[in-house]
Amino acid sequence: MDYLSHNVSVNFKRFRHSKGMSLDQVAEQTGVSKSMLAQIEKGIANPSLGVLDKITSGLRISIHQLIETPREEFCLVTPENMVPTKELAGQYKVWTCFPYEDSKFVEIYRIDIEPGGVYVSGSHGESTREYLAVTDGVLTIETHGHMQNIHKEEVFRFETDDTHIYRNDGDNRCSCMCFFLDYR
């Protein structure tokens, strides 16, 4: 199932349940057959724009509400189940835990830097800020002509509109969680 069919399936079911409607009631309200609605809800149908329009009109929701990424009540991310977004053997690994989404302005990464490892990151654009929490080791950040050592359990904030360097000068792996905020 492609992401759009998945979104429509999950959102349609959520709206139908929140309105306390059966498939028969939605079919009557929208003019779309019960079998087609069941297929849409299961994610096995690829409805036309006309059908989606009938559904949104009948349920009194916008097309955007029907196709947007569904809200997740919870989500656990473990690096063991992820492929690193960026990696340089013997230097660093970067995992994108939660990427930017249309309606969210935060992105979360985990970064591991090996002893002697250096990770150079380019600008993330104007009006972006990083909040970095070190979970193991000591991390050195160079940004805007400033150098800062951040120790385990410390948190550091900086503007990410310029190249910044993550460096591990220690003898053990350094790990951190990075939270990027787009505050435009």
Is the domain of 166 the same as that of 104? yes
- Based on the structure, what is the number of domains in the chain? 2
* Segment 40-68 mean pLDDT: 93
Segment 138-181, tens digit of pLDDT: 999 999 999 999 999 999 999 999 999 999 999 999 999 999 99
98 shares a domain with 57:
no
Q: What is the pLDDT of residue 101?
A: 64
Is 85 found in the same domain as 176? yes
pTM of the model: 0.62
Compute the Cα dihedral for 7, 8, 11, 17 and give only its sign: negative
Mean pLDDT across the stretch 11-16? 94
**H helical segments located in 21-91:** 23-30, 34-42, 49-59, 63-67
**pLDDT band, residue 81 (cuts 50/70/90):** confident
Domain that holds residue 25: 3-67
- 162 and 85 assigned to the same domain: yes
Q: List CB contacts of 128: < 8 A, sequence separation 6 or more.
A: 159, 160, 161, 180, 181, 182, 183
Same domain, 99 and 165: yes
User: Within 13 Å and on the Cβ side, how many CA atoms surround 59?
Assistant: 29
Q: What is the pLDDT at residue 136?
A: 97
Position 44 pLDDT exceeds 70: yes
